[in-house]
Amino acid sequence: MFGPPGAGKGTQAERLKRDLGLTHLATGDILRQEVAAGTALGAEAKRFMNEGKLVPDAVVIGMIRGRLECAPDDFLLDGFPRTLPQAEALDVMLGELDAPLQAVVSLVVPNDELERRLGGRWLCRACGRSYHEVSNPHTPRDDCEANGPGACDLYQRDDDRPEAIATRLATYATDTAPVLGYYAERGVLVQIDGTGALDDVYARIRAALATAP
Ligand code: AP5
């Protein structure tokens, strides 16, 4: 899953995981778990994340390599790769695992909509699900996978402050968007309109994946 901050990668990955039985590997989630656990990796990553900057390639590549070595056959990467060196490293890792990359789903959303989404996002500390105070509000009927029905523990991320959002969008444009060309050349890039209702975006992704090479 590829796309700028707030494009809906985590939201849609959650649905793909549920419906296709995939293992979901999200670098942002893994880094936040490392920060919460107070590990050395988390301490190094935290200052970059809070400012909205990318964590150094060597740190993220080492981290994802460890996860891929124990991943089952079918997995979904969310938020990785985000730079050309990460994309090149992923090719090597997938080659070693004999696990070809099937599709890169890129969600396309304009910046003013991204700012609205990030500014109104609430996440569950327990199950990790993402909600939005206007477009996808948490309700008492929502089941928390960890705490049970209606028992999500909601919070807003430190990097969803306006200054960090601006840095994240600028970093996406300079460092991450060039990765799109890398995958377009390989014929695995699927561009999806990420605007509109959550169900509509999901239907577009499923339709595109059904016909992906
Ligand atoms: P990460 O956690 O991956 O953050 P991100 O890429 O900035 O993406 P987000 O999680 O903010 O957005 P999303 O696209 O998942 O959107 P969501 O579904 O939540 O990374 C955080 C940090 O970790 C990075 O800044 C960096 O420091 C570090 N990092 C991570 N990976 C790295 C890497 N590979 N290399 C280096 N550093 C790395 O949706 C957002 C909101 O919009 C939600 O409220 C949702 O409910 C709402 N929404 C979703 N879809 C719609 C819709 N269709 N209509 C209306 N609202 C919607």
> What domains, with CATH codes, occur in the chain?
9-120+156-211 (3.40.50.300)
Grouping H, G, I as helix, E, B as strand and the rest as coil, residue 14 is helix
Q: Which atom of ligand 1 is nearest to the CA of 7?
A: 14
The percent of residues in the chain predicted with pLDDT above 90, rounded, is: 82
* Pocket mutation for ligand 1, best pick of 130, 131, 165, 202 (most atoms within 8 Å of C-beta): 130
User: Which residue numbers are catalytic?
Assistant: 9, 82, 121, 157, 168
Q: Is the pTM of this model over 0.85?
A: yes
Alpha-carbon distance 208 to 213, whole Å?
Answer: 10
Alpha-carbon distance 147 to 140, whole Å?
Answer: 12
For the segment 87-114, what is each residue's pLDDT rounded down to a tens digit?
Answer: 999 999 999 999 899 999 999 999 999 9
Beta-strand ranges (E) seen in 50-120 are: 75-78, 104-108
For the segment 21-33, what is each residue's pLDDT rounded down to a tens digit?
Answer: 999 999 999 999 9
At 128 the pLDDT is 84
